[in-house]
Amino acid sequence: MEKITIGVVGALGAVGTCMIRCIEESGLPVSKLIPLDVHENEGKTLRYRGSDVSVREAGKGSFQGIDIALFSAGAQASRTLAPVAVEEGCTVIDNSSEWRMKGGVPLVVPEVNPEALRRHRGIIANPNCSTIQMLVALKPLHDAFRIKRIVVSTYQAVSGTGQKAVKELEDQARQFVADREITKSVYPHRILFNCLPQIDDFLDSGYTKEEMKMVNETRKILGDRDIRVCPTAVRVPVFRGHSESINIETEKPLPPPSEIRQILRKAPGVSVIDDIENKKYPMPVDCVGKGDTFVGRIRSDPTVENGLSLWVVADNLMKGAALNAVQIAELLCEKGLIKGET
């Protein structure tokens, strides 16, 4: 593979920092890394492969000479800068919600729909973190038995909201220990020792925007408009690592859970931890910094003809964001698709 220059927009943020770490550990043939961020951060430095690299301001002209740019700077920045980057000859992999449901923009999880990359026109969208881990776990089951209905409840870490939310949970813990008033600003209610059944704004349907992302993204990624998805998204007082309780109903009969475990053990990006006799199952505290999607508590659902329940955990900053983007970049290089359709 030819050497490439790679840019990271939002390089000093939590996901941007994780992207740079994933690039360092990846097989990408990187000759140069260019970290990009807001004007206020221009000139700051970060460590990359043992050296200090200066941050540049992201804007018109800053993408010239960059082959692939990983974006993690929010929807507004992506809306403005992604077309600029493409115009300057760059292929964009965007982590925001801005491009996910746009026509002509592939929404990609490498283990699930890598073939969609061949249709890109310069911008590729990274799915929502909760959608990514759910579909990594469910794709092999969908291929074998065709899933027709998904009921999913997510238990999402505060890092999914950003660094201010992480600090809010830390501050509330200190306030509790010191017996001081617990203050809040990021969330509408205190998050410490609490669960908030709201992520993003509510829609007229009673579902939140976060929940509908899982519905619409699942259908787009799997290419199946008929699959039914009923989500409930909950914010929990965990720093890092999203968990999901998933129940599926399939068209074809399901084998016993022991065979399901074997199918999932062979699936790319999946690690099965399912030993209830020894109380072993996936937990967010054990998945931090790891790239796999962890699956456990695999059991038949006796209330429907072809039903199965499982528990899925992944690091939302790794596979749920940074790592998925870097894996897309690796595929672009391997398949010679950096400049678009061939």
Burial 95-134 (b: 16+ CB within 10 A, else e): bbbbbbeeeebbbbbbbbbbebbeebebbbbbbbbbbbbb
User: For position 64, which CATH number holds?
Assistant: 3.40.50.720
123 and 179 share one domain: no
The residues pairing with 91 across neighbouring beta strands, listed in sequence order, are: 68
294 and 169 share one domain: yes
Is residue 341 a part of any domain in this protein?
no
Is residue 339 a part of any domain in this protein?
no
Known catalytic residues are 129, 242
Q: How far, in Å, CA of 105 to CA of 122, rounded?
A: 8
pLDDT of residue 340: 41
Torsion-angle region of 179 (φ positive above 0: left; ψ -120 to 50: alpha; else: beta): left
pLDDT of residue 341: 36
Residues 223-239: pLDDT tens digits?
999 999 999 999 999 99
238 and 96 share one domain: no
Residues 117-146: pLDDT tens digits?
999 999 999 999 999 999 999 999 999 999
Q: 53: domain range?
A: 4-128+321-334
Is residue 340 a part of any domain in this protein?
no
Is residue 57 a part of any domain in this protein?
yes
Domain count, the chain: 2
User: For position 201, which CATH number holds?
Assistant: 3.30.360.10
Query: Average model confidence (pLDDT) for the chain?
Result: 97
187 and 123 share one domain: no
Query: For 130, phi and psi rounded to 5 degrees?
Result: -70, -35
Q: Tokens in use for 116?
A: 């969609």
Average pLDDT for residues 24-34, to the nearest whole number? 96
Average pLDDT for residues 247-258, to the nearest whole number? 98
User: CA triplet 132, 133, 138: central angle to 5 degrees?
Assistant: 100
Given a cut of 70, whether residue 258 has pLDDT beyond it is: yes
Task: Name residue 221's amino acid.
Answer: I
76 and 142 share one domain: no
